[in-house]
Amino acid sequence: MNPIRMVAFGCLAARLAGVAAPAEATSSSGSTAIPLPQGEGLAAGYVADQGLPRHPDVIFADDFESEDTGWKLWDESRNDGDAVLTADTPLDGAGRLGKRCLKVTATLGRNTGGGLTKWFEPTRRVFIRFYVKFEAGCDYVHHFVTLRANRGLTGRDRWSGFGGAGLKPAGDDRFSTALEPWGNWGRFPPPGRWNFYSYWHEMKVSPDGRYWGNSFAPEDQPDIPRGKWICAEFMLQENTPGKADGEQAFWIDGELRGHWRNLNWRTSDTLHANALTLESYVTDRWTKQATNIVWFDNLVIARRYVGPAGDNHRAESGRAVETSRGSGKAQSVP
């Protein structure tokens, strides 16, 4: 894997405005990175994630198999006219998914897409795994799957991590990171390439003087394919207030793509990553396709690396169920 970099780009609104010279930002590494797992993980022994929600390391899971389309497992939904979020059939030949999935249809001129939000009991190191498929004609996506830190789980505190675009967090109010496609101002074919889009109190200023999300991305990775299911997973480790010992990493189809360490996410021990938004948010600046469809399935929030779901071959062969550690090497920012 090539070296990994972190760059302060603008938020996509600023990116689309043509910001041409991103400010370089660094996250130093004072020691050798501890390797993270790759390949099989917690979910390997659960065909299509069946039974996985009962595992003690799983905080929340939704395989979207319920006949109820009110999304009652989630706390908030954004579904304009009840026309954005619908149930669909995943058509997964590998048998890793079930019979139903979530379909998000964004229609320019009518809506900006939609999604679901879940608040959950925090843990210092949290893993978010989901399956996603972009429709063959899907264009660029503005925002995607976001993990937010809030001051609490009740009242006004549960919303402290929402909003604040273009502003630098104070350190005790919010931080966030999102795994999302990035089009590099149209240089990458849609929907783009994977990157983290992060806000925290030590983020770098953007060229326009505002604090749009900083982008963490490997220097070299393939374009995101359309028309096929992808297993995406990311991890965030909170820092100890006063220490830069936070981390984040992401995997695609079980392959570790990037691992960043020595991050100072927060200054307060009452601020925790405790809300996840699963969405496809689309705007009309670079997105020209009238209808943009993204499917999601098998979302898991856990305390351990989840990895790809078990498949039919595993069920038929009766092989061992779980690998708790991977053999891959993690890389940190130079």
In a domain, 233, yes or no: no
> Tens of pLDDT along 107-141?
999 999 999 999 999 999 999 999 999 999 999 99
Report yes or no: 217 and 5 within 8 Å, Cβ to Cβ: yes
pTM score = 0.86
Closest CA to 142 of 299, 19, 10: 10
Q: Are 4 and 219 in contact (CB under 8 A)?
A: yes
Q: Given this model, what pLDDT does residue 124 score?
A: 97
Q: 305: domain CATH number?
A: 2.60.120
Instruction: Please indicate, yes or no, if residue 127 is contained in any of the structural domains.
Output: yes
**Ordered DSSP codes for 28-92:** ---SPPPPPP-SS-GGGGSBTTTTGGGSTTEEEEE-S--S--S-TTSSEEE-GGG-SEEEE----
Q: Is 64 left (phi over 0), alpha (psi -120 to 50) or beta?
A: left
Across 86-97, average pLDDT: 90
**Per-residue pLDDT, 67:** 73
Contacts of 2 (CB under 8 A, 6+ apart): 218, 219, 220
Residue 202 lies in a domain: yes
User: Range with the lowest mean pLDDT among 53-67, 137-151, 309-323?
Assistant: 309-323
Report which of 125, 96, 144, 133 is spatially closest to residue 281, judged by C-alpha positions.
144
3 state SS of 220: coil
Answer yes or no: are the C-beta atoms of 219 and 3 closer than 8 Å: yes
State percent of the chain over pLDDT 90.
77
Distance from C-alpha of 278 to C-alpha of 174, rounded to nearest angstrom: 18
Mean pLDDT of 223-238: 98
Q: Which of 221, 44, 37, 63 lies closest to 130, judged by CA? A: 63
Q: How confident is the model at residue 314 (pLDDT cuts 50, 70, 90)?
A: low
Question: What is the domain extent for residue 286?
Answer: 4-226+239-317
Give 162-195 as a DSSP string.
S--TBS---SSS-EEEEEEEE-TTTTSPTT-EEE
Q: Where are the beta strands (DSSP E) in the chain?
A: 4-8, 23-25, 58-62, 76-78, 85-88, 101-107, 113-119, 125-134, 143-150, 175-182, 193-199, 214-218, 230-237, 246-252, 255-263, 272-281, 291-302
Q: Count up the domains in the chain and report the number.
A: 1
